Amino acid sequence: MQDMSEKSVLITGASRGIGADTARLFAKAGAQVALVARSAEAISDIATEIGSQAIAIPCDVSDFAAVEAAVAQTVQNFGGLDVLIGNAGAIEPISHMASADPGAWSQVIDINLKGVFYGMRAALPVMLKAGGGSILTISSGAAHGPVEAWSHYCASKAGAAMLTACAHKENGRYGIRAMGLSPGTVATEMQREIKASGINPVSQLDWSDHIPADWVAKALLWMCSADADHWIGSEISLRDPDIRARVGLA
C-alpha cells in the first residue's frame, strides 16, 4: 500500500460509494482526509468512523465559494493540500434530449463539470505555492462516446476529462500530477439509478457485472505513487488488465 503519511487529501462526493471507500482507504494508508459532500450527516458519520485523521466539510461543489471555503478549511486543519480527488457526480434525471428538463440537465453540468473546475481552481494556488500536488478526476467511458439518454453526463464527463488535460498542460511543469481515472461500471447508488431507468444497454447489466467501489479507491491510491507517473496528463482505464495488475486487483 502506498504510504500517505503526512499527506492531506480532499475528496468530493465523499458521502457514499467511491468517495466514502476512498476516504477510508487513504486514511488507512496514513493520510489526513477531508470528506466533502452535500450530505452533512453522512460525511460526519464516516469521519467519526475514521477518527481524528478525518474532517467532514458540508459543501455543494456547484458553488465555487463553498468549494473555495472547503479547500481553505482543509489547509487550515491539515497544513496543506496534497491530493484533490474530484469524484462528485450525478446522472439523474436520465432522459432523452428532446424531453430533458433544461434546469435539471444544467444542474448535472454544474456538478460534474463546473464542480471539477471549481475544485481545481481552489486547489491549484495552494498546490503551486507548495511546489506540487496530485489532481485526480473520476472520468468515464461516457466521456469518449455517446450513450442514449445521458447527454448531460457524457458532455460533462468529456469536459471534465479535458479540464484534467488542461490542468496538466498548464501546471505539469510545476509539479502538478493531473490524471483521470475511468473505472468502468461500479456497484454504487448511481448504478441503481441507471438500472431503474431501463434506458440503454448499461441499464441492462447485471449487478455482478459492476466492480466494487473499493477497487476504484485502490486505483486512486496507486495513482498517488511514482509507479503511475507514466500516466500523468492522461486517463487511466480500470478496464485495462495491465492496470488492474499494477494496482493489485484480481
Residue 81's pLDDT is 98
Residue 222's pLDDT is 96
Active site residue 174: no
- pLDDT band for 204, please (50, 70, 90 cuts): low
HEC assignment per residue over the chain: CCCCCCCEEEEECCCCHHHHHHHHHHHHCCCEEEEEECCHHHHHHHHHHHCCCEEEEECCCCCHHHHHHHHHHHHHHHCCCCEEEECCCCCCCCCCHHHCCHHHHHHHHHHHHHHHHHHHHHHHHHHHHHCCEEEEEECCHHHCCCCCCCHHHHHHHHHHHHHHHHHHHHHHHHCEEEEEEECCCECCHHHHHHHHHCCCHHHHCCHHHCECHHHHHHHHHHHCCHHHHHHCCCEEECCCHHHHHHHCCC
Q: How far apart are CA 88 and CA 115, in angstroms?
A: 8
Class of domain 8-247 as given by CATH = alpha beta
Q: What are the pLDDT digits (tens) for 108-128?
A: 999 999 999 999 999 999 999
Domain ranges of the chain: 8-247
Q: Is the pLDDT of residue 207 over 90?
A: no
pTM: 0.91
Q: Which of 69-78, 192-201, 226-235 has the lowest mean pLDDT?
A: 192-201
Residue 142's pLDDT is 87
* Catalytic option among 26, 78, 150, 153: 153
Q: What are the pLDDT digits (tens) for 18-45?
A: 999 999 999 999 999 999 999 999 999 9
Among residues 92, 122, 86, 88, the alpha carbon closest in space to that of 107 is found at: 92
